[in-house]
Structures are given as structure tokens and as C-alpha cells.
Structure 1
């Protein structure tokens, strides 16, 4: 599966299907009520019905993405749903703004209010993963509907070792470790010394977040595919674990109190703490697919010397 101009058009077509159908088509369902507000289920802007509709639309985006990338829909169509979420992730407000909206007159009251916010946001990644998963399911459904054989190509597609539970568990752990480290490197804004935490980091911009998450998960997916031969699905799922950790760390009482007493809302204990669950999952999906195929390309190059 060489990255020819035609292949790039297929990739663009699959991602455009997600942006148009999910990103633009479902924007009215998740648009924040607060101007420039963060897109998050805790804000109350996304009802259960809205969430179910988003999942259904993501499934449809996967189906259309499959045919938009024909005959490589099974390989490329999975980008549709993450691309749609990525459109939202580039329009959303940031974590700093969300924290400002959850500020009480006193420090103790603010700690309680923000802990309640972050305790729910720890699990928010599961919803966005469900949206991405629906897109993946749409691709699989379209593949079965089309009953198409995989295209004959001079490019080898590695076998995915999805049945080895140990490999899958190891891949999840490796992704969390690699992506966490890489996010600390790439998702940087202003970094300041802190006597208790070592350093604190300013709120990264949306473009910086997109770059950092895509690159971090591409690296992680590349490594776990090359070492463990597992699918891009597992690095994508690991984004939920990283989101859980970041919200847990931000919600610790001692960290919250120190940050409130010492730094404005635009600073965080770790870079990842300034990234919304939506942004993590959306760009993790894109990066994981990219890293997966780059690993296959590398193995092919080493084997054939091309």
C-alpha cells in the first residue's frame, strides 16, 4: 500500500467523510452552550439521545469512509470517525477555560467543585472511544456488505496478533508509557519551575495538542506493531487510560490545592493534564492508524530492501 497520490486522495476522502458527516453534521448535537467552551459531556450540552445519535452517525461515517477509500476501505476507512472527532477537537475550548468556569469563591469550595468535575471526566474517554469504535464497526460492516477481497498489492499487510491476550495487555501498557512520555515532550507550552512539582506547564494550544497527540500515538503504535504485531485498535483504546490518569492526577486534593494557591488555571502539573478527553481520543485514533502502517512499511522495507 504505497503512499501514491491516488492513495493520498483515498485517505483524504475517508477523512473528509468523517469531517462532513460527523464533524459538521453532528456539530449541532455537541456544540457548547458557552461561547468558546470546552466540548465535554460533563457540561450537560450532550444528552443521552445526542450521544446515541453521534455514535450512529459515526457508524455511517465509517461505512461511507470505506467506500470513499475503495478498494482500500478496510485499511483507510477507519480514519473517518477519528477525523470527525478531530474536527471537534480543533474547535473546542481548552481545559484552562473549563477550570475557570468551575471556580468557587473559596479555595476549599473550588477544590470540591473541581474534584467533582474531574471525577466524571476520568471516564469521559469511554464515550469518545465508543464513537470511534462505532466508526470502526461501520468499516467492518461495509466490508462484509461489499464482500470484497483484499486488493492484490506489492505491499505486504502484516497479520495482526489479536488473539494473544498477553500481547494485547503488553501493548496497552507500552502505549500508555510511550505516549505519556512523548506527550510530555511534544505537548509543551511555557514550562516553569515549581518547588513541589518540579515544573508546571502552560496550556498547550489546540494545534500543539493535535500535533503532540498524533505524533505520540503514532510512535507508540509503531513500536507495539513492530514488537508485538498488534492492531492499531489497542493503542487507540489506551488513550482512555491516559485520559483517566490525567484527570486523576489533576483531581488529587494536594495537587489541586497547590495549583490553586500558586498558579493560574492556565498551568498544569503535567502537559497531558491540559488535554481534553475528546482531543486525546480523536488524535490518538489518527496517530495509531498512521503508526501501525508505518511499522508495516518499515518491516517491508527491511525485508525487500526498497
Structure 2
């Protein structure tokens, strides 16, 4: 079950739509903060509109698999956005005091919601097109399926499990110089800011593995690992907030209590989304391979 060259072209076309509209045009239109890539309300609305348009374009350029491939347009665009942004270390450097850093962390905690809304807008375009086309193809009324409580339980479990697994894998994959320090009698380790390329790989692989596992064992969508990017960010920044006085007083800005804190919210959502979608389809491919090629 290998991807054909036509399928690869469809994916590339959908990705290109997002890169051009969000990664290039959106950057020019919204003038984001270079250190974080963050935007204000007006910029966020602009990006939501661009993501919706990118989703529509992604749907048509990847026809007839637009509802599955077109959703990649927005996260690919945000991926370019994330790479063009600075690093968490550079952001911390311009907030030297503990009070400034605490205020910064408080504002960053909710930023993933903005990026998730943009991703959702990018998904809405292809799904709306698919719904319209599906209704035209069939006029038969479908019977309403009964509510299955196991389905909701699996979704909640997948959300929690994705967050836990992603945190674990991020700590494994995002590595740099690690040193030991002390808070009173307690020893803690601090980690230097990983390179951008390593963060890209770590986030993509971590959420990819999480999505693979929850699809394989719980048979749920990639939406739950994607949503978990918000909770992973919240938890990581909460850990930093607890140690902010110690870190501001004794360590350079490039050091963090763990690797997850060094990931900007836009990086977490963009590459976490791409990894989640990839992991989901890898699980499907794995099952196909086991059934037909062993």
C-alpha cells in the first residue's frame, strides 16, 4: 500500500496552497511578531479566512481525495510560519525578569487556541465541499445511528493518552545540552534550547506516534491528538512558571526545565497536526499491510 506518484502530487499541491496563502501571503498581510509568530485579533481573523480558502483550494487540487488531503493545507502553511518565527529562547531573552517571564508564559498558554482555530478553518473548507458533493450524489435518507457511549469514552481516553505520550516522546526526541542545578536541597536538570530542525522532528514524530497508537488501539480520529497539542503546551508552560524565579535568577534564557517548554505554541500546533494526520494514516496502512502483505 505505497503512495502513488499521483497521490504524492495531490498532497504536494494541497501543501503548496497552504504555504503560499498562509506561510507567505499571510505573513505579509498580518505582520506577526518575529519572535513568536503570534498575531493580534485582526491578524487571526485574516489567517482564519486564508486557511478556509486554502482548504477549499486544497480540496479541489487533490480531487477526488480532497476531504482527506485538503485538510493538510492549513497546517503546512502554519509549518512555514513556525519555521519563520524565532525560538522560545530568543523570546525569553527579551523578558529577563521573573515577573516579565511569568506574564509572558500566561499569555502564551492560550495561544494554541488561535492556531487550532486556524487549523480547524483549514479543515472546514474541504469537509464542507465534501458534504455538499456527498449530498448531491445520494438522495437517500440515512438512519440516525444510535449513541455509542464507548465511542465517547475512547475519544476522551485518546485525548488524555495522546497528551501523555506526546510529552514522553518530546522529552526523548528534543535533546540538547543538559545540566544539573539545585533548588534548595532538590536537584533538577535544565536543558538548552534545541535547534529548530530538532524541534520540528520531535513534535512531528511525537504526535505521529501518539496518533498511531490511539488509532491502532482505540480506532479514533487524528482530531484528538491534534487537540492535545493545547494541553501539552499548557502543562509545559505551567512547569516553567513554577520554576521561573530559579531559572531567571541562575540560568541563561536558553535553558528550560524540559524540552517541551522550548517549543513555541505555533510549532506545537503546526507540526503536531501534521504528525497526527501522518500517524493516523500510518496506522491504517499498517493494518492493511498486516492483512494483505504478510
* TM-score between both structures, scaled by the size of structure 2: 0.90
The alignment yields a C-alpha RMSD, in angstroms, of: 2.0
Query: Is the contact made by 1:78 and 1:139 (CA closer than 8 Å) also made in structure 2?
Result: yes
More deviation, 258-267/274-283: 258-267
2:250, 2:191 → 1: CA distance? 13
Partner of 1:143: 130
Question: What is the DSSP-based 3-state SS (H/G/I as helix, E as strand, rest coil) of the residue aligned with 1:200?
Answer: strand
Matched, 1:24 2:24: yes
Deviations 1:234-259 (A, max 9, x none): 1001000001111111112xx11111
Query: Is the contact made by 2:22 and 2:81 (CA closer than 8 Å) also made in structure 1?
Result: no
Q: 1:274 aligns with which of 258, 262, 265?
A: 262
Question: What is the DSSP-based 3-state SS (H/G/I as helix, E as strand, rest coil) of the residue aligned with 1:164?
Answer: helix
1:186, 1:148 → 2: CA distance? 44
Partner of 1:231: 221
Query: Is the contact made by 2:190 and 2:256 (CA closer than 8 Å) also made in structure 1?
Result: yes
Partner of 2:113: 126
Partner of 1:219: 209
Q: Residue 129 of structure 1: CA displacement?
A: 0.4
2:263, 2:188 → 1: CA distance? 20
Shift of the 94–197 alpha-carbon distance from structure 1 to 2, 3 Å rule, reads farther
1:174, 1:290 → 2: CA distance? 17
Aligned 1:238-277 pairs, distance under 5 A:
238-252=228-242, 255-277=243-265
Matched, 1:184 2:174: no
Partner of 1:37: 35
Task: Could you tell me which runs of 5 or more consecutive residues in structure 1 were left unpaired when the two chains were aligned.
Answer: 41-45, 104-109, 151-160
Partner of 1:155: none
Task: Could you tell me which runs of 5 or more consecutive residues in structure 2 were left unpaired when the two chains were aligned.
Answer: 138-147
Q: Residue 162 of structure 1: CA displacement?
A: 10
2:235, 2:211 → 1: CA distance? 19
1:69, 1:162 → 2: CA distance? 35
Question: What is the DSSP-based 3-state SS (H/G/I as helix, E as strand, rest coil) of the residue aligned with 1:26?
Answer: helix
Q: Residue 29 of structure 1: CA displacement?
A: 3.8
1:31, 1:265 → 2: CA distance? 25
1:162, 1:114 → 2: CA distance? 43
Shift of the 162–290 alpha-carbon distance from structure 1 to 2, 3 Å rule, reads farther
1:214, 1:165 → 2: CA distance? 26
Aligned 1:134-213 pairs, distance under 5 A:
134-147=121-134, 164-195=151-182, 196-213=186-203
Shift of the 209–228 alpha-carbon distance from structure 1 to 2, 3 Å rule, reads same
More deviation, 140-149/255-264: 140-149
Shift of the 31–6 alpha-carbon distance from structure 1 to 2, 3 Å rule, reads same
Partner of 2:92: 99
* TM-score between both structures, scaled by the size of structure 1: 0.87
